[in-house]
């Protein structure tokens, strides 16, 4: 153990500057109540400060059970991670066991619990989306009301997704109830088929011919725009004769047929107009 010597008070007024005489390295020592008690040799006060600065085991376990991590509790308590883990371990095991039980519970439906388990339905939903279910992580914790909440966390692209259910232990595995939209969607695997179908249709649109509506030609009937010839009367000949045949017969190109517009007096008298 190296011996340091006191150089003086740091410019912040809250730390003591110490120096290693051999290496000329300098260190900062907080000038807090603990240092003052140590300087006085007050061992009773040092013990009291140690208790005040640490979190009691019951509080550590309560915070871990509520969903906090070991790192979060250690930072809040000003304690080492190893010391928090000693009290957190049994609670973390309880959370893991509860999450496993909840995965085997049955989602509550309007007509009663589903015959399938939560784990089976969620695995099916992931398969429909083409996502790796093995990369998702389950957890469980107690809410402020004392109820168990089970959560699922997974990543899709660059987004972090979380779904939560309320878990009620009971006969035949108990039941779970969705607490957010993602949880509800995972309980309805069919809700993922529409986005996937749209994605497939987009791929087809990029590689196929398109109509005016932007859909592949096989999805819509192809529209061929062509003028439809009106019936014509060529000197009393049969109007059913096709235009090409009439041209071959020496009639020349037929004139464009325009619809006959009746005069106003013809409409009033109910007679057919002879104009045109």
pLDDT for the residue 62:
95
Q: What is the pTM of this model?
A: 0.53
pLDDT confidence bin for 244, thresholds 50/70/90: very low
Residue 210 is classified by DSSP as B
Q: In whole angstroms, what is the distance from residue 6 CA to residue 16 CA?
A: 7
Residue 79 inside a domain? The answer is no
C-beta contacts of 137-145 below 8 A and 24+ residues apart = 138/99, 138/100, 138/102, 138/103, 139/67, 139/95, 139/99, 140/95, 140/96, 140/98, 140/99, 140/102, 140/167, 141/65, 141/66, 141/67, 141/95, 142/65, 142/66, 142/67, 143/66, 144/66
> Does a structural domain hold residue 254?
yes
212 domain residue, yes or no: no
Expressed as residue numbers, the domain containing 14 is 5-53
**Is residue 241 in a domain?**
yes
Residue 178 lies in a domain: no
Is 214 contained in some domain? no
What percentage of residues in the chain have a pLDDT greater than 90?
37
Q: Which residue has the higher pLDDT, 82 or 197?
A: 82
Sign of CA dihedral 110, 111, 113, 117: negative
Q: In degrees, to the nearest 5, what angle opens at C-alpha 265 toward C-alphas 263 and 270?
A: 95
pLDDT given at position 102: 96
Report yes or no on 188 lying in a domain: no
Q: Is 1 exposed, middle or buried (0-12, 13-18, 19+ CB in 10 A)?
A: exposed
Q: Between helices 193-207 and 118-129, what is the axis angle to 10°? A: 10
The pLDDT, as a whole number, for residue 85 is 92
Strands 175-178 and 106-109: parallel
- Residue 44 domain flag: yes
CB neighbour burial string for 169-184, b if at least 16 within 10 angstroms, e if fewer:
eeeebbbbebbeeebe
Range in 56-65, 70-79, 96-105, 168-177 the model is least confident about: 70-79
Residue 163 has pLDDT above 90, yes or no: yes
The total number of structural domains in the chain stands at 2
pLDDT band at 34 (very low <50, low <70, confident <90, very high): confident
Q: Which residue, 14, 31, 53, sits at the end of a domain?
A: 53
Give yes or no for residue 201 having a pLDDT over 90.
Answer: no
């Amino acid at each position: 153990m190296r011996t340091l010597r006191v150089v003086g008070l740091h410019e912040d007024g809250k730390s003591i500057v110490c120096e290693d005489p051999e290496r000329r390295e300098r260190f900062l020592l907080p000038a807090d109540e603990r240092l003052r008690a140590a300087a006085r040799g007050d061992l009773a006060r040092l013990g009291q400060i140690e208790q005040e600065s640490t979190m009691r085991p019951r509080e550590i376990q309560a915070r871990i059970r509520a969903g906090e991590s070991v790192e979060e509790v250690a930072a809040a308590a000003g304690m080492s991670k190893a010391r928090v883990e000693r009290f957190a371990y049994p609670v973390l095991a309880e959370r893991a066991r509860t999450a496993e039980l909840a995965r085997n519970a049955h989602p509550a439906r309007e007509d009663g619990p589903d015959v399938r388990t939560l784990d089976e339905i969620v695995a099916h939903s992931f398969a429909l989306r083409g996502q790796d279910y093995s990369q998702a992580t389950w957890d469980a914790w107690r809410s402020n009301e004392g109820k168990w909440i089970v959560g699922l966390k997974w990543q899709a692209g660059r987004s972090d997704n979380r779904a939560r259910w309320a878990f009620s232990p009971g006969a035949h595995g108990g039941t779970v109830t969705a607490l957010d939209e993602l949880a509800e969607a995972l309980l309805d695997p069919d809700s993922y088929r529409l986005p996937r179908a749209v994605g497939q249709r987009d791929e087809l649109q990029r590689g196929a011919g398109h109509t005016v509506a932007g859909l592949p030609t096989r999805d819509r009937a192809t529209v061929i725009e062509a003028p439809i010839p009106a019936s014509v009367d060529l000197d009393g000949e049969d109007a059913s004769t096709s235009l090409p045949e009439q041209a071959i017969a020496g009639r020349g190109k037929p004139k464009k047929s325009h619809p006959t517009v009746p005069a106003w007096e013809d409409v009033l008298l109910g007679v057919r107009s002879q104009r045109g």
